[in-house]
Structure formats: structure tokens, C-alpha cells
Chain A
């Protein structure tokens, strides 16, 4: 009986993650629709392919080394213990666990859940640089943030044994920092070097709006991102686990769902808080943006992102206010920074993901102050200083800095930005010419046939 119960739990967990992965695929569909909707007609195909091709590139690199980093790097920081080669041995690409294996139902789906987070991190960067970055340059960034930098931050701050959790009391249950702050910071580093789209700023430095060619695609893309985000929330949990399996301080025999730190939570709690923070973000964004559709929908996302750090523990009304307050801050910050530093973040990704991630982490430090960050003994409790340092590590050290330095290197090699002539003509110019020519030829041929009927 006990054996069957364990088997049932394992298969349930396997199926649970499988479903979240399918739901999370919608995030990428949403990002693609959003980016194409935001781009101009002359750049559609390149914009789409830029985002599509990061899927295979991040996937194979995450198989080769990304997943190994997660298990090897929780304490790979000076003075914290170093790389855990032994603990990560099962996650090398030549391990039997990383393959078709009837005695391991979990590694594949757990790997894939994290992989989908990797796509998201890369895709956030992709949106901010549309219409002027070379695809080859973006794909290098995608591999680096998707299979290296974000997964290092996940090992440090989103792993039950990560040093940031142990020493700083870092708490980021649904990834305000570990996905969004890092990706926003990385995007900021890239666009600082990349420069704005031609025509974005007037001669006197005044920013011009470059409207999306299709607001409907943009809106549907954001709705799909919301939907996939829901799956992401579920994927951040361990669905069911017995206290003795956790091996921490929990007593009694009550099985529970946990967050990524193996601290108890419920799907019910995060459902409350997801929807309330979405609502707070939408309502505040509508007011602050004066009913702008793009910002209202993005504000809903920003609301969830900010509350995500503590959405396993907040009261729903707290989650709503975190979402609302955050949106007012990041909206104003976006336009101030755009004007002050002449930065062109084509989809507002730095604000919606990066600044929201920082704000969310810091607010969580205050609202959850003193609460346990982990079920394991000896870990620091959640506190504002730990969260602020955590935000600096996510946004600055692992996000902005590598994005900036690698872009500098690419720029010095002349492989970062497309030529100005191509930017004005449009990346899809030749494809569009072929398309128009094909249509013209078919029309002529059909009209000839019509004459003969």
C-alpha cells in the first residue's frame, strides 16, 4: 500500500509539472505575439524568428549545462563552499537521469519547467531590443541569460540550499528577482550599448512614441502571457510532499505543497494573490497611464511580478496593494529614465520586469520581515537588507553587468547592431519584395486563366 501511495504521488507530481510546462508554453506564444505586434511591418519576420529561435538554442544549452549549474552552484560564491560536483553529477548530459529512465519520473519534467523559465528570461531581453539588434547577437545573449546567468541566480536564491537563502534570508517565491529583475537588468545593460531605434529621439532629445503596428496582437499576447504566468506559478511549487521527505524542522504527518524553498504553501493562496495583484496592477496602471491600453495590460503583469516575491505568504489585499503601488513607481521611472538617459526600451521590459522585480523584492523584505525563509534550521529569516542585497545581485551583478559587458564586446567587434540603411529599409525588405512579387505573379497567371474561361 505504501509503495503504491509513493508511486501515485510520484506520477501525480510528474503529471502536475507536465501540465504546467504546457501552460507555460503560452508565455512564449504571448511574447512572440507581443513583439511582432509592437514591431513595424517592415520587421515582422525577423522579430518573430529572433524570438522563436531562442527556443532551440536555450533548450539544448540548458540540457548541456544549464540544469547542471542549478544543482552545482547553490554555494558557488566566495566563502560559501564552492561548486558541488558530486551533488550535480546526476544532472550532467551523460547521466542516466537525464534520459529515458523508468526509475526517474521527475527529472525530465522538472528540467523542462526550469527550461521554460529560461525561455522567459531570454524572451524578456528579446522584446526590449527589437528592430535594431542583430539576431546573432541576441541569440548569444539568449543562451547566456537563459542557460547561465539566470540559472546561477536560481541556484543562489531559488534553491532550498542556495547561499542567498541561507545567509541573507532571501525570499522570492514566484521569481520577482530571479527571473524578472535579472532579465530587466540584463536588457538595460544591452540597450545602453545598443542605442535607440533610429528616429526614437528628436534632435533636442525629446523621445518619440513608436506605436505598435497592431495593438490587438499586443493585447492578446499579454493575455497569453498572463495565462502562461499562471502555469508558471504552479510550476514554482512542489505539489505534494511529506514532512519527513523535506528533512527540515516540520513536525507531524500532514502532507503539504511547498514553494521552491520547501516551505509550506497552497495553490489556493497563490491563486488568491495572483488575481489580486493582477487587479491592483491593472487598476493603478489604467489611472496612471490615463487609460493607455499597452500600459494598462503591462501594468497587470507588473503588478503580479512585484507581488511574486511574497505571493506565497501575503494576504490577498496586501498583494493587491503591492501590485498597485509598484505600477505607479515603475511607470514614472520608465519615462524618467527614457528621457534622462535616452534609452529605447521598445516594450517597456526593463520597467515591467526589472524595476518591478526590484520593487517587489524590497517590499517583501518589509512585509515579511522576521518570517522564516526556509524550513531548515539555521537559515536567516526574511529581512529588508537581505532583500535589497538580493535585488542588487539579481538586477545588477547577474543581470545588468553581463548584459552591458557582453554587448560592449559585441559592439567592439561590430556584430551587435544592424546597419542604419537596413534599419531604415526594414529587416524584412527582401522577404517582402519576394512576397509581393509572388503575389503579383500569381494574380497575373490567374487573370490569364480567367480570360481563357
Chain B
């Protein structure tokens, strides 16, 4: 058993192409990659919204003035 089908390097490299594991699953891996990428945007946006809502609560006149002075 080998995850890329090769169990030895007793080969002529002129005849060898892809050597990554689980060949044949490229489309599935691509779909998983897209899901991960889109999930990241959704999750990040949700977290950022929560963070901004918290920040608004602390944005008193005093704190805003302090922020302006801090530049």
C-alpha cells in the first residue's frame, strides 16, 4: 500500500509525473479548498462584526478624544 502508488524509486524519471498522495482526488481537494476559503471569509466577517460592536460600546467621547490625540 502506498498513498501515491509508488513503493520504490526503481523507476526511470522520464516516465514519472505526479507523485503526490491521493491522486484522483484533486477535484475533491479543490472543493475542500474552496470551502475553507469561503468559510474563512464568513467566519472572519462574523468575528469582525462582533469586535466592532464591542468597540462601539467603549467609544465614549473621552476615548474618542484620547484616540484623536494619540494620532
A271-300 with Cβ < 8 A to chain B = 283, 286-287, 290-291
Check B21–A318 contact: CB distance below 8 A: yes
Contacts of B8 in A (CB 8 A): 249, 372, 377
State whether the Cβ of A371 lies closer than 8 Å to any Cβ in chain B: yes
Query: Could you count the A-B residue pairs with CB atoms below 8 Å apart for me: how many are there?
Result: 94
Question: Known interface pairs A314-B21, A317-B29, A367-B21. Does A251 touch B11 (Cβ–Cβ under 8 Å)?
Answer: yes
Among residues of A, the one whose C-beta sits closest to the C-beta of B47 is A290
| B19 interfacial contact with A, CB 8 Å | yes
Main secondary structure of the interface of A (DSSP, over half): loop
The count of residues in chain B whose C-beta lies closer than 8 Å to any C-beta of chain A is: 31
Contact status of A367 and B33, CB under 8 A, knowing A252-B14, A254-B13, A314-B21: no
Least Cβ–Cβ distance between B27 and chain A, in angstroms? 11
Q: Which residues of chain B come closer than 8 Å to A249, judged between CB atoms?
A: 8-11
Alpha-carbon separation in the docked complex, A324 to B35 (Å): 13
| A290 to B48 Cα, complex, angstroms | 9
Contact (Cβ within 8 A) A315 B26: yes
B16 / chain A contacts, CB cutoff of 8 Å: 264
Provided the pairs A315-B29, A370-B2 are in contact, do residues A250 and B21 lie with their beta carbons within 8 angstroms?
no
B44 an interface residue at 8 Å Cβ cutoff? yes
Contact present for A251 and B47 (CB under 8 Å): no
Closest A residue to B31 by beta carbon equals A317
Instruction: Return the CB mask of B1-33 against A: 1 if under 8 Å, else 0.
Output: 111101111111111100111100010011011
Asked if A369 is an interface residue, CB under 8 A from chain B, the answer is: yes
A380 to chain B, nearest CB (A): 11
Assess the A370–B9 pair: CB atoms within 8 A.
no
* Chain A residues in 8 Å Cβ range of B6: 371-372
A315 touches B20 (CB 8 A): yes
Q: How many Å from the CB of A97 to the closest CB on chain B?
A: 29
- With contacts A370-B3, A371-B3 taken as known, whether A314 is within 8 angstroms of B9 at the C-beta atoms is no
Query: Which of A263, A321, A369 meets B1, CB within 8 Å?
Result: A369
A375 at the interface (CB under 8 A from B): yes
Residues of A94-130 at the interface with B, using a CB-CB cut-off of 8 Å, are none
User: Which are the 7 A-B pairs with shortest beta-carbon distances?
Assistant: A252-B12, A370-B2, A249-B10, A254-B13, A315-B20, A375-B9, A317-B29
18 contacts between A and B (CB under 8 A): A249-B10, A251-B11, A252-B13, A264-B13, A286-B44, A287-B43, A287-B44, A290-B47, A290-B51, A291-B47, A291-B51, A313-B21, A314-B20, A317-B29, A367-B3, A370-B1, A372-B8, A372-B9
Binding site for A on B (CB under 8 A): 1-4, 6-16, 19-22, 26, 29-30, 32-33, 36, 40, 43-44, 47-48, 51
Residue numbers of A with Cβ under 8 A of B are 243, 248-254, 256, 263-264, 283, 286-287, 290-291, 313-315, 317-318, 320-321, 324, 367-372, 374-375, 377, 381
In addition to A321-B36, A381-B7, 15 A-B residue pairs with Cβ atoms within 8 Å of each other are: A248-B9, A250-B12, A252-B11, A252-B12, A286-B44, A287-B47, A291-B51, A313-B21, A321-B32, A367-B22, A368-B4, A369-B1, A370-B7, A371-B21, A372-B8
